[in-house]
Amino acid sequence: MIGRLLACMTILASVSCAEGGNLDDGDGGSAGSTGVNAGGSGTGAGTTGAGCTDETCNGKDDNCDGTIDNPDVLNGLPCDTGTPGACGAGTTLCQAGVNTCVPNVEPGSQPEICNAADDDCNNMIDDVDGNDTCPTQHPSAQNVADWSCTGTCAITACTAGSWDFNASADDGCECITDQAATACGAAATTTVPLGGIVALTGVVEMSGSSDWLTFQFDQPTAGLPFHPKVELTNNAGGSYSMDVMVDCAGTAAGCSTTGGANDETGIAATVWEQSYNYVAGAGCCTDTTPRQTVVTVRLNRTTPPACDAYTVTATNQ
């Protein structure tokens, strides 16, 4: 009787398992899938008795916690989808015993921009036209005529009268300059009427460069005084000098400090002026001395590049 009881106990012991263990196949569980590239397995809170292993995505309860393919253990782990660019990173998802890597960014779900990355996951980096994408990437940029994309947005041309002084794409061509000629022969003519005042403002961007202006003064009839004047009214704290000439050959315009013959020139001047007055009396008003009615003005930057402006004022009073 005792012998039969011992035999029965031996049979019961052979089919028991550690608490929470698998009884389905008796082989202690299989290794199963380890996921895609990264992730896909974990330890979890199950019993670590005989036959229990780390949880894997295989349709079984490997770690003996009572949950097959426990999502708390297997899902949401970082993984590599194998897709290029921004769509490469993903997280694991175990379904029906199969582990997949779900991309954080779906291919084609976002547009390509200029940033040295493959944003739309087509295996090409920055395959865009800068003129299409850069204005959106830099909405505060102003006065930009042309963009290029070389890993970042770059300004390749500004609209006329502007300059990208600080070389920043964020504000574009922020320095408002002018449209003055940079060569004497191309200088536009500005008429200064009798009794009139004309002020022109501009910026010479680079050191050693110049702007060229031409002023034409309307001349009064005989018997009336004529007083043409050109003055550098703002030299930006010494950043500019002014030359007043009668032609593009560099002939300086003369002026007089004595009221007689010219004893100074308009080179490196802050003020150039001539005053023709008539004295009433015998012989009045028959003076045929030529008047200087047209002058060419050159504004020179004498300091390093900057965005400070000059003002030249011409009067005919």
Q: Could you read off the pLDDT of 85-111 as tens digits, one per residue?
A: 888 899 999 999 999 999 998 888 899
Query: Residue 140 has what pLDDT?
Result: 98
For residues 132 and 51, the model is more confident at 132
Task: Report the pLDDT averaged over residues 15-34.
Answer: 37
Tracing tokens 């022109």 back to the chain, one arrives at: 200
pTM of the shown model: 0.61
Cβ-based neighbour number of residue 197 at 10 Å: 12
Task: Report the pLDDT averaged over residues 275-302.
Answer: 78
Average model confidence (pLDDT) across the chain: 83
Query: Residue 313 has what pLDDT?
Result: 98
- Asked if residue 40 lies in contact with residue 74, where contact means CB atoms within 8 angstroms, the answer is yes
Judge whether residue 262 has pLDDT over 90: no
Judge whether residue 311 has pLDDT over 80: yes
- Asked if residue 154 lies in contact with residue 148, where contact means CB atoms within 8 angstroms, the answer is yes
Domains and CATH numbers, the chain: 130-176 (no CATH), 184-281+291-316 (2.60.120)
Query: Residue 2 has what pLDDT?
Result: 42
Kindly report, residue by residue over 34-63, the tens digit of the pLDDT.
Answer: 334 444 455 455 555 678 999 999 999 999
Judge whether residue 189 has pLDDT over 80: yes
For residues 297 and 123, the model is more confident at 297
For residues 24 and 130, the model is more confident at 130
Judge whether residue 134 has pLDDT over 60: yes
Query: Residue 287 has what pLDDT?
Result: 59
Residues 6 or more apart whose Cβ sits within 8 Å of residue 133: 111, 112, 113, 114, 149, 153
Query: Residue 24 has what pLDDT?
Result: 39
Q: What is the DSSP string of 4-61?
A: HHHHHHHHHHHH--STT---SSSS-----B--SSS--EE-TTS--STT---EEBSSS-
Task: Find, among 250, 253, 263, the residue nearest to 217 by Cα.
Answer: 253
Kindly report, residue by residue over 206-233, the tens digit of the pLDDT.
Answer: 998 999 999 999 998 877 888 999 999 9
- Classify burial at 10, counting beta carbons within 10 Å of its beta carbon; exposed 0-12, middle 13-18, buried 19 or more: exposed
For residues 72 and 22, the model is more confident at 72
Kindly report, residue by residue over 164-181, the tens digit of the pLDDT.
Answer: 999 999 999 999 999 999
Query: Residue 33 has what pLDDT?
Result: 34
- Asked if residue 192 lies in contact with residue 316, where contact means CB atoms within 8 angstroms, the answer is yes
Considering the chain, what percentage of its residues have pLDDT values greater than 90?
Answer: 65
Query: Residue 135 has what pLDDT?
Result: 98
Residues 6 or more apart whose Cβ sits within 8 Å of residue 307: 163, 165, 174, 175, 177, 203, 205
